[in-house]
Amino acid sequence: MATTRTAHTEWEGDLLQGSGEITLDSSGVGHYPVTWSSRTEDPHGKTSPEEMIAGAHSSCFAMHLSSELGKAGTPPTRLNTSAAVSFQPGSGIIGIHLTAEGQVPGIDEAGFNAAAEEARVNCSVSQILTGTTITVSSALSS
């Protein structure tokens, strides 16, 4: 069964001086202020579409990696994933770098790296961002 999640943004003013607020409608967990300068300069306590994409991508990547490790019979004890989304005004998103560190009993570094690469390619957020350069670094931790 498919699920749909929704969010909306209310924006006031022009691009450079205006501001908006992103509301996560489906979960109701928050309202997040956004401005052009939070995308291109210091965030000053505001978010950006790229930061929201980074959150979505890091969580999707973690879930997919956990699933792959579990299917291989080596479920993780802990995973710490992150996504760094690079934005260039005039060009848009120019790249995403994912990182994964994990405590995974019974797997070696090569196996963990292979699972991380599979998750990089096949998590649903990576799939929707096809055409964007997405890289990954991964390491087991003790």
pLDDT tens-digit series, residues 25-57: 999 999 999 999 999 999 999 999 999 999 999
Say yes or no: 67 and 136 in one domain. Answer: yes
Mean pLDDT of 47-70: 97
Q: Are strands 19-24 and 31-35 parallel, antiparallel or unpaired?
A: antiparallel
The answer to whether position 23 is within a domain reads yes
* pLDDT score of 142: 80
Say yes or no: 18 and 79 in one domain. Answer: no
Say yes or no: 57 and 115 in one domain. Answer: yes
* pLDDT score of 130: 87
Express each pLDDT in 98-133 by its tens digit.
Answer: 999 999 999 999 999 999 999 999 999 999 998 889
CA-CA distance, 83 to 55, in Å (whole number)? 7
The answer to whether position 1 is within a domain reads no
Say yes or no: 36 and 53 in one domain. Answer: no
Say yes or no: 58 and 116 in one domain. Answer: yes
Say yes or no: 53 and 20 in one domain. Answer: no
**Nearest of 111, 112, 125, 57 to residue 79 by alpha carbon:** 112
Say yes or no: 107 and 62 in one domain. Answer: yes
- The domain total for the chain is 2
The CATH number of residue 131's host domain is 3.30.300.20
The answer to whether position 2 is within a domain reads no
The DSSP letter of residue 107 is -
Q: Which runs of E-coded beta strand occur in the chain?
A: 7-12, 19-24, 31-35, 78-88, 92-103, 134-140
Write down the pTM of the prediction.
0.92
The answer to whether position 114 is within a domain reads yes
Which structural domain, as residue segments, surrounds residue 122?
49-140
Say yes or no: 34 and 69 in one domain. Answer: no
Q: Torsion-angle region of residue 125: left (phi > 0), alpha (psi -120 to 50) or beta?
A: alpha
Q: Any bridge partners for residue 78, and if so which?
A: 103
**Does residue 94 have a pLDDT over 90?**
yes
The answer to whether position 57 is within a domain reads yes
User: What mean pLDDT is reported for the chain?
Assistant: 96
User: What count of other Cβ atoms lies within 10 Å of the Cβ of residue 4?
Assistant: 5
The answer to whether position 108 is within a domain reads yes
**Nearest of 50, 35, 59, 79 to residue 124 by alpha carbon:** 59
The answer to whether position 105 is within a domain reads yes
The answer to whether position 59 is within a domain reads yes
